[in-house]
Amino acid sequence: MALTENKFPFTQLNDLERFDDDTTSEKNGYYPDKRPVNELLQYGVILLDKPPGPTSHEVIAWIKKLLGIEKAGHSGTLDPGTTGLLPIGLGEGTKALSVLLLGPKEYYAIARLHAHVPEHKLNNIMKEFVGEIYQRPPQRSSVRRSTRVRTIYELEVVEQFDRLVLLRIICQAGTYIRKIIYDIGEILSPGATMIELRRTRVSNFFENKDNFTRLHDLSDAIQIYREKNDEGKLRGIIRPVEQCLDLIPAVVIRDTAIDALCHGAQLAVPGVLAATKGLKERELVGIYTIKGEIVGLAEAAMSNDDIKESVKGIAFHMRRIIMKPGTYPKAWRSSASVIDRSLPTNTKA
């Protein structure tokens, strides 16, 4: 299939600016929505609805044992008592989860005020917390306790009943909701305590749009697959990892460039077929095959205009490789102009 004939299933690969065309072999790689289950377990993501009780690390351990895989990871730790969306990357898909930290997160929190506060006064205090705020992680956090700046995009009172308040918060990744509620209580004077928290959004994944998966649903799906060879329910739970990359620009490359990148090469102009319109230097991008598979993450060294005007030179510096080497055949000799090396080859005297 040629690039111009392909209809990508992901929004970031639609409406690209095309520089050249090329074909892809059906013998190598897979269209993301048609991966076999064993490949999906290496390049997949689960939108888990974490229950209260276990830690995020315990959930990961259970999922690895349940699916029989060696590697899995999560995006954004949730405290044991917190429920809601915990994106779980499977296999090589864990390498793409860092992109989700670039998008906002949404929480619903129940706070208990230590004294009754009039609604108008509470709403006025909320306005002071919208925008950039200073936060220092709590003593029990897993990160270094240094003051940092975080952005609160929205903060509203959904409902108030006496001293109980339901809050909705949209914020930057790494924001401590418990600390926000504590600080609100300090400004109000009587104090406030968070008693319940649920995460409903991570980047481009929303509770009201995407179906979150409970642990027992995943257990049922894998049991049905193993006992009846019916993969329907499992495919409805494990999504292609490419869905995590919706918010960053995309670049499509030739098949002949793929394995070289997987072995440490940088991406030069001749290997680029298309890119998101208006792409600029220094932007973080996803590098994709003609089939729409993610190869890795890169930083743009050229804009689209530069790529169109150039016949050689490094167009993108690879920052993280996601695809396993050997997925596509080696083509370094026949297409040497497609790649370049970031470091010289070691030689012996």
Return the half-sphere exposure (C-beta side, CA atoms, 13 A cut-off) of residue 335: 21
Q: Is the dihedral angle over the CA atoms 280, 281, 283, 286 positive or is it negative?
A: positive
For the question of residue 79 being annotated catalytic, the response is yes
The residue among 111, 65, 56, 62 whose CA lies nearest residue 85 is 56
Check if the beta carbon of residue 289 is closer than 8 Å to that of residue 255.
yes
- Which residue spans within 162-253 are E strands per DSSP? 164-171, 192-202, 205-206, 238-240, 250-253
DSSP-assigned states of every residue in 52-118 = SSS-HHHHHHHHHHHHT-S-EEESS---TT-EEEEEEEEEGGGGGGGGGGGS-EEEEEEEEESS---
- Report how far residue 230's alpha carbon sits from residue 132's, in angstroms, rounded to the nearest whole number: 49
Angstrom distance (rounded) from CA 239 to CA 253? 23
Catalytic residue among 20, 33, 79, 217: 79
- Hey, which residues are catalytic here? 79
